[in-house]
């Protein structure tokens, strides 16, 4: 979340977000699962989905990120505090892995408690001009979820996510991607726009909540994302967790039970240019 992103997007139609209390709980839950994923692992091991980091750096990034957001909410900050600690990360591995583990757990707990005390409508600086309540709780629930994926994949284990949090994470990603000013923050995304350019994502899991389908419409003057089942130039069908990892660029689109139907060039072109923050 480097740059402020002005408003312009809207919440997707479909089920409402999980809610402030659930997001607060997920920050702790996802952190606990992250800690379990790296228990006993070599913290010097590289993280392929974050190629500039090893596991120790990834964990420090998560812990410092929690503390950075906690400071914003607790102080009702009107501007972002320095984020050097969560970006300039030493590559050395701490000698006391247990101490790092405890520090990570404490940061998640502090952030969740501060968010609960503040409530979803607390006025603070956020990197988007949004009226969506509980921005920080939702953002860091998903931030922690995706970095748990990074750590899990780095240790060679299979990453899984609950359906509700995975759908909510994809909804939030689509909402942020729909902000018109994203084209100014990431100018390369303007190259995506063009006639006939539509992408559909369809979660094929048995029992996945109704409406877990998204359309990315690139045919207008800005990116538009919405829930729905529509014909598209290219469709990506696969397990919900796989779609989550593809959209967050944590795994390739091909393989792992994912099926591509239609214009594969458009899908690759989109994946090469997407992202936020």
Q: What is the pLDDT of residues 144-181, one digit of tens each?
A: 999 999 999 999 999 999 999 999 999 999 999 998 87
Q: Is residue 14 part of a domain?
A: no
The pTM score is 0.91
Q: Which of 12-16, 94-98, 168-172 has the highest mean pLDDT?
A: 168-172
Pair 96, 180 in one domain: no
Pick the more confident residue, 210 or 202.
202
Q: Mean pLDDT over residues 49-66, rounded? A: 96
Residue 114: CATH number of its domain: 1.20.120.450
Question: 209 lies in which domain range?
Answer: 168-273
| Bigger pLDDT: 1 vs 85 | 85
Query: So what's the pLDDT on residue 66?
Result: 98
In this prediction, residues 240-246 reach a mean pLDDT of 96
Task: Answer whether residue 48 shows pLDDT above 50.
Answer: yes
Q: What is the CATH number of the domain that holds 268?
A: 3.30.1050.10
Which residue, 159, 181, 213, sits at the end of a domain?
159
Are 114 and 186 found together in one domain? no
Q: Is residue 276 over pLDDT 80?
A: no
pLDDT at residue 184 in the model: 85
Q: Are residues 67 and 36 in the same domain?
A: yes
* Residue 247: band (very low, low, confident or very high) from pLDDT cuts 50, 70, 90: very high
Q: What pLDDT, on a 0 to 100 scale, did the predictor assign at position 26?
A: 98
Q: 15 lies in a domain?
A: no
- Domains identified in the chain, total number: 2
- The residue among 134, 159, 184 that closes a domain is 159
Q: What is the mean pLDDT of residues 206-212?
A: 67
Instruction: Tell whether 236 and 172 lie within a shared domain.
Output: yes
Which pLDDT band, with edges at 50, 70 and 90, does 212 fall under?
confident
Sequence-ordered list of residues with C-beta below 8 angstroms from that of 36, at least 6 positions apart, any chain: none
């Amino acid at each position: 979340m480097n740059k402020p992103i002005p408003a312009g997007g809207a919440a997707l139609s479909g089920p409402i977000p999980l809610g402030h209390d659930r997001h607060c709980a997920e920050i702790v839950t996802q952190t606990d699962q992250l800690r379990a994923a790296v228990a006993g692992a070599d913290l010097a091991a590289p993280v392929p989905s974050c190629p500039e980091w090893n596991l120790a750096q990834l964990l420090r990034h998560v812990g410092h990120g929690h503390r950075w957001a906690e400071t914003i909410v607790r102080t009702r900050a009107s501007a972002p505090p320095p984020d050097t600690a969560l970006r300039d990360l030493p590559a050395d591995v701490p000698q006391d892995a247990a101490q790092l583990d405890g520090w990570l757990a404490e940061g998640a707990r502090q952030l969740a408690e501060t968010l609960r005390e503040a409530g979803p409508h607390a006025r603070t600086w956020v990197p988007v001009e949004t009226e969506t309540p509980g921005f920080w709780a939702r953002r860091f629930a998903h931030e922690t979820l995706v970095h748990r994926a990074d750590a899990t994949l780095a240790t060679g284990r299979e990453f899984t996510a609950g359906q509700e949090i995975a759908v909510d994470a994809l909804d939030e990603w689509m909402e942020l991607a729909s902000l018109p000013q994203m084209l100014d923050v990431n100018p390369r995304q303007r190259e995506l726009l063009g006639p006939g350019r539509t992408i559909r994502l369809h979660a094929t899991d048995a029992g996945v909540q109704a409406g877990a389908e998204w359309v990315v419409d690139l045919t207008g003057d800005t990116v538009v994302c919405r829930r729905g089942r529509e014909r598209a130039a290219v469709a990506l069908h696969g397990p919900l967790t796989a779609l989550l990892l593809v959209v967050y660029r944590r795994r390739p689109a091909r393989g792992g039970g994912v099926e591509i139907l239609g214009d594969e060039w458009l899908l690759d072109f989109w994946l090469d240019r997407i992202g936020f923050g």
